[in-house]
Amino acid sequence: MTHPDLDLAARVVARALPAWAGLPLRAVDPQGHDHRTYRLGDALAVRLPTAGGYVPQLVKEVRWLPHLAAHLAHPVPEVVAVVEPDEVFPLPWSVRRWLPGEVASRADGDPLTLAGDLADALVALRAVPAADGPPPGQHSAHRGASLRHYEAEARTAVGALPAADRERADRVLDAAVATRWEGPPVWFHGDVAADNVLVRDGRFTALLDWGCAGVGDPACDVVPAWTVFEGEARAVYRERLAVDDDTWARGRGWALWKAVITLADPDNGAAARTTLAAVLA
């Protein structure tokens, strides 16, 4: 894995895109895991993958983001340039148009409104024509497929929990792997984290980071019910998302899996504990 920093971002822009080399460049906060993003001037963003395994996400976004943009009311990130590997940076990378706003983890606003807005956007995403869209796989971190792909990892992590939590977590996992998506494959975002939900003037405006998107089971997009919302906002999200009980249970399993495998992560452990408590409540 590479860790492209601000200096490297400046060097790759200067070498590959000299017309933009004079624009101010600054790191985006918060940063992602699969890619590092740097704002270029006021209107652009440089996006550098952190490892070769994330390059298929870029290829997929170049192919499919225009298709999604043509069918969705909310803006979708637009790729304006793709740069091939060279001696400065060994992986392909891209430049996107900057979408204004604040991510939900940093923004103020009514959580009930955000829950409804976000659910409506995901319902609209499920309605986008999915023929020939990318099925789940490594490019989507297996989002859109069955949680059985991660079941052994989840069971091992659950085994380290206190006995009372372990019993409840096992029941959540049992329910999550007991059913599967019976409908036709539909579009899912795959990583609807608070840092990927863009808010402006208190209202949802866009989803960022479509690297885990694809067509399959939308249960992975149920996860914000436990990672972003609580209480009445969670109820609003569930109602407006309009998924059945089985899909809700599978989404709960996805939330549990990510929480238990990141409990020991110094950067994400606190959030993981909060999510775990919500899932098990």
212-271 tens-digit pLDDT = 999 999 999 999 999 999 999 999 999 999 999 999 999 999 999 999 999 999 888 999
Distance, CA of 25 to CA of 171 (rounded, Å): 48
Residue 108 has pLDDT above 60, yes or no: yes
Secondary-structure class of domain 6-97 per CATH: alpha beta
Residue 73 has pLDDT above 90, yes or no: yes
Please state the pTM of the whole predicted model. 0.95
pLDDT band at 48 (very low <50, low <70, confident <90, very high): very high
Per-residue pLDDT at 32 = 87
Cβ burial of 216 (10 Å; 0-12, 13-18, 19+) is buried
Residue 3 has pLDDT above 80, yes or no: no
Asked whether the CA dihedral 274, 51, 104, 77 is positive or negative, the reply is: negative
- 3-class SS of residue 40: strand
**Domain spans of the chain?**
6-97, 102-280
Q: Is 102-280 a CATH 3.90.1200.10 domain?
A: yes
Per-residue pLDDT at 2 = 64
Residue 74 has pLDDT above 90, yes or no: yes
145-195 tens-digit pLDDT = 999 999 999 999 999 999 999 999 999 999 999 999 999 999 999 999 999
Nearest to 104 by CA among 255, 212, 208: 208
Strand partners, 35: 49
Residue 1 has pLDDT above 60, yes or no: no
HSE toward the beta carbon, residue 39, CA cutoff 13 A = 13
Per-residue pLDDT at 109 = 87
